[in-house]
Amino acid sequence: MVTLQFPPNKVQGQVGGISIHTYELAKRLSPKVELHIITSAYPNLSKLEKENNYIIHRLKHFPPNIIGNSGLLDISFSKAVKNQINKLRPDLVHIHEPHLTFFPISYPLISTSHGIYIDEIKFSAHLTKIGCLVRIPLEFIGLHRSDWVTTVSEYMKKELTRHYSIKNISVIPNGVDLEILNPSKIDGSSIVEKYGPNLVLYVGRFSKGKGITTLLKSAKLLPDVTFLLVGAGLRWKGYVNSVRKLNNVKCIGFMPFNRLVEYYAASDVFVHPSLHEAFGLTVLEAMAMEKPIIASNIGGIPEVLGTTGLLFTPSDYIDLSKKIKKLLNDREFANALSKRARKRALNFDWSITAEKTLQLYENILEGKEHI
């Protein structure tokens, strides 16, 4: 399994969706297959490490802080990946960032697309746009070199077909650990004591595409509501500076998962205002924590949320504000949504994701035509 983002590696100070996906998948696949994780070197971590029945290979390449945004990192890393794969001689390769196959891989190849750079480039800063421009053709090459492609939502399947003409695609959604994300076992009272009632929670990367500006505009309209923003990113300092005059907005920063769950537990409403989203993993986490949810009506989010939360028009902060007030003022309605959200989340379990992935491995190796 190949990914730049394997815990505890962080991207823009944040453990992202790919990191969580690959880690949860690795834990569940490793008892059933001989699993090697190829990932990027990370400060103070061993080049070779065994964990949870799998082996992690951390590869050195050009420093990502120097050339990461240019996309040259991907070419450098893909060369190191190819060399490591040739040493391991695996039965199958599963790569979670298709643009990392600049150098052809001579083994059966599955690529998982968690999002495409054609979408990402619309919301990127200047330097990141350059990286996206490099990665778009690399992504095209990697996807077409793959024997099979998986993605996390029906929305993404359509996007891959529309932009890259990919045909061999399976949808294997993300999941959650329903035992850890169990609202009956997590106490958020210390958060409530610190920040008070009427807590609206955002969890995710601090970037333009996540729609935080929309959330801040809503906060100005709701001075009696406290907004907790948990996460990190390249725009972290900019957002912190922009909220100094908003007494009801608290930028918490990155939180390890064992602390993050307490914020989920403490919140009265969870908001996900993203401008583009392949899936919406934090939406699913909030669902598992039995929270009333308001999310952008965009991308893969409606597939995940279903009818268990409220959708709003992306960037429409007035619509968002009205829906926040609705859920805070009508607790009976909010509680009904919460119960439905938890029930729907039971259909998304990392064990199901792992089972479907393992079945795909077996089908590829057996040469089955229909997967």
Can you tell me whether residue 269 is helix, strand or coil?
Answer: strand
Q: What is the pLDDT of residues 245-260, one digit of tens each?
A: 889 999 898 899 999 9
189-345 has the same fold as 17-175+350-366: yes
**pLDDT of res. 66:** 45
Q: What would the CATH number be for the domain defined by 17-175+350-366?
A: 3.40.50.2000
**pLDDT of res. 239:** 64
Nearest to 222 by CA among 150, 128, 145, 318: 318
Q: What is the pLDDT of residues 223-241, one digit of tens each?
A: 999 999 998 876 656 666 7
Give the span between the Cα atoms of 74 and 70, in whole angstroms.
9
**pLDDT of res. 9:** 60
Q: Which residue has the tokens 């914020």?
A: 263
Domain residue limits, the chain: 17-175+350-366, 189-345
**pLDDT of res. 240:** 66
Enumerate residue ranges in the chain where pLDDT < 70.
9-15, 61-72, 124-127, 234-240, 369-371
Stretch (H or E) spanning 201: strand 199-203
Pick the CATH number of 189-345 from 3.40.50.2000, 3.90.480.20, 3.10.100.10, 3.30.420.480: 3.40.50.2000
CA 76 to chain centre: 24
Neighbouring-strand partners of residue 110: 94, 148
